[in-house]
Amino acid sequence: MDDIVDRTLDAVGPRLKRLRLQRDVTLAGLAAQTGISASTLSRLESGLRRPTLEQLLPLARAYGVTLDELVDAPPTGDPRVNLRPIACADGSVVLPLTRRPGGIQAYKFVLPAGRDDAAPELRTHEGYDWAYVLNGTLRLVLGEHDLRLTPGEAAEFDTRIPHWFGATSAGPVEFLSLIGKQGERAHVRAAPASVTGGAARAGAGGAAVAGAVRAVTGGAARAVES
């Protein structure tokens, strides 16, 4: 299995470069689209650095391809379903749940246990994210806010806000993520409940995140950070 992962990841670099050249995009232009520095993009294309999920997702969006097309992951599991789990060098696994490029993309993430004091690598890119925790505790750093989300809780935010996902030392975390273009948002339909703190929606450039991070428990939506 490790050999398959190694071969898959080793082939990503040349594929990234080929896609960029086919689309006549410069490293600087791609950096502006994805929020990944030009130097990092160059190292990814040359194979000097292996990509993480946080890098593959905006690259797939920028090139208009699905994530499994980008990495050409080998099919596994039931062939009638044809889902392709993608393993990364950092131990994380992503399962693309949508088969077409463009529009809102759905993924299931499994992140390995991490350190509670781990320094997050915040990044930004165009788009909107809605994440729902299935198992474990998800650490979400969103701007100046360091949040913990447990099963049944969800977060929605503008991805132009610096952000990072990770697990805690308590164990791995599984969560679903819907990622769309700017202005495309997931809508949670739930009965109203009391909201702690303000209810400002998250925007770009360090705006408040009180109304953007919500828990969905027992049919009610509530803010979990103000």
Model confidence at 102, pLDDT cuts 50, 70, 90, reads low
DSSP track, the chain: -HHHHHHHHHTHHHHHHHHHHHTT--HHHHHHHHS--HHHHHHHHHTSSPPPHHHHHHHHHHHT--HHHHHTPPP-S-TTT----EE-TTS-EEEE---SSSS-EEEEEEE----TTPPP--B--SSEEEEEEEES-EEEEETTEEEEE-TTEEEEEETTS-EEEEEBTTB-EEEEEEEESTT-------EE----S--PPP-SSS---TTTEEEEETTEEEE---
What is the per-residue pLDDT across 51-79, written as a single tens digit (0 to 9) for each? 877 788 788 888 888 777 777 755 544 54
What are the φ/ψ torsions at residue 16 (nearest 5 degrees)? -60, -45
CATH class entry, domain 1-79:
mainly alpha
- Ranges in the chain annotated CATH 2.60.120.10: 103-226
Mean pLDDT of the chain: 74
Q: Which two tokens stand for residue 83?
A: 């889902």
Q: Which two tokens stand for residue 123?
A: 């990044």
Residue bearing the bigger pLDDT, 52 or 48: 48
**Per-residue pLDDT, 150:** 93
- Ranges in the chain annotated CATH 1.10.260.40: 1-79
Percent of the chain with pLDDT over 70: 69
8 Å CB contact between 155 and 191: no
8 Å CB contact between 222 and 194: yes
Poorest-pLDDT segment among 15-24, 92-101, 156-165: 92-101
What is the per-residue pLDDT across 201-218, written as a single tens digit (0 to 9) for each? 334 333 434 444 444 433
pTM above 0.85, yes or no: no
Percent of the chain with pLDDT over 90: 24
* 103-226: CATH architecture: Sandwich (2.60)
**Per-residue pLDDT, 47:** 87
Residue bearing the bigger pLDDT, 215 or 128: 128
